[in-house]
């Protein structure tokens, strides 16, 4: 029996001391290692931000070049990992394939990540480098196509897009996708990051840590919201103010969730949504607009009038799916792309957890009976 207060979902309960990510949802402030997300999105590449998250500082030009070269050298998959992917059912979800492949990787690259700092660093680089290759390979394998080998002359973002269909993206498309990865790379103690830290606290290897985080991200309450935003916007149909307002009022009256709005942390518009909306406009200028964007903008305007006073504003998922769709990325890859980005944050938290590790062992509040009298089976 305990007298501890029960907090559903551990909402607001500190689970770690960290210097990886700072978030103040009341004012929409998001920072990686003390750098505002707006600055990083404008001036950095995903590789540069990944280095910052992992090692706590922005790299010099030489450090970034060496890190980038190492990532590129680790992109290829062992053929036996490709064989594992080929044995999976074509109807399986890409997140399940990613979980299986990452867990399998641990068997091919054993070592002591706890005591051997160099092996730990190499493992982190290897996982970040190979996740895009796994996702792209599975996407092609399930359609009956051969995987496209990664290219070392392309950056992290451009190479992933290339591995999907063999076409090198435009500079605008590359930059938009690169920033999308930056915006999803880290977000404080979310469910998948907590899962990663819990698994890491047992001293499980980094592959098991990432596999557990991917499994957590696959849940519909965590990853995949941008997929449902697109489906939702398509149901609205007409983008006129009257039609959109009627649709929103009807959903709110029925207390149905409107996907892409509201966030457990933010009471203002998600700063990542602000950046993504600006990127969407840049992308449309080059590739042409999509009617669904007009519907999204009108829905945001109507929702601000209807529920803005309650602190319900667009989150990162509201515009990310629109951007990814315009880039020609299949909807079923939206959540795996989330993992491709967030793995940098997961591994940064793992490295931090290992610095002063203590296994997670929370308490519980007992609600059952005690000291029950046993009845033999013949007397029940």
CATH number, domain with residue 237? 1.10.230.10
What confidence category does residue 69 fall into, taking pLDDT thresholds of 50, 70 and 90? very high
For residue 363, tell me if it sits in a domain: no
For residue 305, tell me if it sits in a domain: yes
Task: Report the SS3 class of residue 124.
Answer: helix
For residue 104, tell me if it sits in a domain: no
For residue 303, tell me if it sits in a domain: yes
Residue 214 CA to residue 96 CA, distance in Å, equals 8
For residue 282, tell me if it sits in a domain: yes
State the average pLDDT over residues 318-347.
94
pLDDT of residue 289: 80
Please return the burial class of 365, using the count of CB atoms within 10 Å of its CB with bins 0-12, 13-18 and 19+. exposed
Please tell me what DSSP assigns to residue 16.
-
CB 198 within 8 A of CB 360: yes
Residue keyed to tokens 């985080």: 213
Give me the number of domains the chain comprises: 1
pLDDT of residue 228: 86
Q: Which residues are catalytic?
A: 263, 317
Name the token pair of 251.
Answer: 């959903």
State the average pLDDT over residues 1-11.
77
Angle at 190 between CA 304 and CA 18, to 5 degrees: 115
Q: In sequence order, what are the residues at sequence separation of 6 or more whose Cβ sits closer than 8 angstroms to the Cβ of residue 338?
A: 184, 217, 223, 224
Domain interval for residue 316: 225-326
Q: Distance between alpha carbon 285 and the CA centroid of its chain, in Å?
A: 27
pLDDT of residue 2: 56
Residue 246 has pLDDT above 80, yes or no: yes
For residue 235, tell me if it sits in a domain: yes
For residue 289, tell me if it sits in a domain: yes
With CA atoms as reference, report the closest residue to 161 among 136, 192, 183, 124: 136
What confidence category does residue 155 fall into, taking pLDDT thresholds of 50, 70 and 90? very high
Tens of pLDDT, residues 212-223: 999 999 988 888
Phi-psi region of 149 (alpha: psi -120 to 50; beta: other; left: phi over 0): beta
Alpha helices of 109-190 — where are they, by DSSP H?
A: 117-141, 156-165, 171-184
Q: What is the DSSP string of 267-306?
A: SS--HHHHHHHHHHHHHHHHH---HHHHHHHHHHHHHHHH
* Cβ neighbours of 367 (radius 10 Å): 6
CB 346 within 8 A of CB 210: yes
For residue 333, tell me if it sits in a domain: no
With CA atoms as reference, report the closest residue to 74 among 112, 108, 29: 108
State the average pLDDT over residues 63-92.
97
Name the token pair of 376.
Answer: 């033999």
Residue 183 CA to residue 124 CA, distance in Å, equals 20
CA-to-CA separations, 331 to 133, 167, 192, in angstroms, rounded: 18, 19, 21
Residue 224 has pLDDT above 80, yes or no: no
Sheet holding 21-24, edge to edge: 21-24, 29-32, 35-36
pTM: 0.93
Name the token pair of 219.
Answer: 């849940």
Residue 123 CA to residue 112 CA, distance in Å, equals 10
Q: In sequence order, what are the residues at sequence separation of 6 or more whose Cβ sits closer than 8 angstroms to the Cβ of residue 136?
A: 147, 148, 160, 163, 164
Q: Which phi and psi angles does 236 have, rounded to 5°?
A: -70, -40
Tens of pLDDT, residues 104-146: 999 999 999 999 999 999 999 999 999 999 999 999 999 999 9
Please tell me what DSSP assigns to residue 377.
G
Percent of all residues in the chain with a pLDDT value above 90, rounded to a whole number = 77
Tens of pLDDT, residues 190-205: 999 999 999 999 999 9
The pLDDT mean for the chain works out to 94
Tens of pLDDT, residues 19-47: 999 999 999 999 999 999 999 999 999 99
* Cβ neighbours of 265 (radius 10 Å): 16
């Amino acid at each position: 029996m305990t007298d501890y207060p029960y907090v559903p979902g551990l909402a607001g309960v500190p689970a770690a001391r960290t210097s990886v990510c700072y978030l103040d949802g009341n004012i929409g402030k998001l920072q990686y290692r003390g750098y505002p997300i707006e600055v990083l999105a404008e001036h950095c590449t995903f590789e540069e931000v990944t280095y910052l998250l992992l090692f706590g500082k922005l790299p010099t030009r030489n450090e970034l070049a060496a890190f980038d070269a190492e990532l590129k050298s680790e992109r290829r998959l062992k053929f036996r990992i490709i064989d594992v992917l080929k044995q999976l059912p074509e109807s399986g979800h890409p997140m399940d394939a990613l979980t299986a492949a990452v867990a399998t990787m641990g068997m091919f690259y054993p070592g002591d990540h706890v005591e051997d700092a160099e092996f730990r660093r190499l493992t982190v680089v290897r996982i970040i480098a190979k996740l895009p290759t796994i996702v792209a390979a599975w996407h092609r394998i399930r359609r009956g196509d051969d995987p496209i080998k990664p290219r070392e002359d392309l950056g992290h973002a451009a190479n992933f897009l290339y591995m999907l269909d063999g076409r090198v993206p435009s500079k605008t498309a590359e930059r938009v996708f690169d920033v999308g990865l930056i915006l999803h790379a880290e977000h404080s103690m979310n469910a998948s990051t907590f899962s990663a830290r819990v698994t890491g606290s047992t001293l499980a290897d980094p592959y098991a840590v990432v596999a557990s985080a991917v499994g957590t991200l696959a849940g519909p309450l965590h990853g995949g919201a941008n997929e449902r935003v697109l489906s939702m916007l398509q149901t609205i149909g007409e983008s006129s103010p009257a039609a959109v307002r009627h649709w929103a009022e009807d959903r709110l009256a029925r207390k149905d969730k409107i996907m892409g709005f509201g966030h457990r942390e933010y009471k203002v518009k998600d700063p990542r949504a602000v950046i993504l909306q600006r990127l969407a406009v840049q992308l449309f200028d080059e590739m042409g607009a999509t009617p669904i964007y007009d519907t999204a903008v009108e829905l945001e305007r109507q929702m601000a009038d209807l529920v803005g006073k309650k602190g319900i504003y667009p989150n990162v998922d509201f515009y990310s799916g629109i951007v990814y769709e315009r880039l020609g990325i299949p909807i079923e890859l939206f959540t795996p792309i989330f993992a491709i980005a967030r793995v940098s944050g997961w591994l940064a938290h793992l490295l931090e957890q290992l610095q002063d590790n203590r296994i997670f062992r929370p308490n519980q509040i007992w609600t059952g009976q005690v000291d029950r009298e046993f009845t033999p089976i013949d007397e029940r």
